[in-house]
Amino acid sequence: MPSDPTILWNAVLSLAIGGFLWWVRGIAAQLSDLRKLISVTREEIPKTYATKIEVERDIEKIMDRFDRLDNKMDNILERIGRG
């Protein structure tokens, strides 16, 4: 057993600082992994969701088809009314 308390204190501080640095290194690695995952997510999200312009264009197509169906129904009802 060392007779000088400063040697013991230095050993305790060295272990504490070493453990703290090991913990900080682990946290930094996790942050790096999370940044990569966020980057991949940002690239993948536009592939699965429609933009506002795409939705508006699709709604316009649907409304055009409804207008054509409405015109056809009007024509059919006019024929029935005449006959």
Residue 60 sits in the same domain as residue 44: no
Residue 55 sits in the same domain as residue 43: no
pLDDT, tens digit only, all 83 positions of the chain: 557 889 999 999 999 999 999 999 999 999 999 999 999 998 888 888 888 999 999 999 999 999 999 999 999 999 998 86
Residue 8 sits in the same domain as residue 22: yes
Q: pTM here?
A: 0.51
Residue 54 sits in the same domain as residue 44: no
Distance of alpha carbon 27 from alpha carbon 16, whole angstroms? 17
pLDDT at res. 25: 97
Distance of alpha carbon 42 from alpha carbon 36, whole angstroms? 10
The SS3 assignment for 4 reads coil
pLDDT at res. 32: 97
Residue 66 sits in the same domain as residue 54: yes
- As a dihedral over the C-alpha atoms of residue 53, residue 59, residue 63, residue 64, rounded to 10 degrees, the angle is 50
Q: Which domain holds residue 70?
A: 50-83
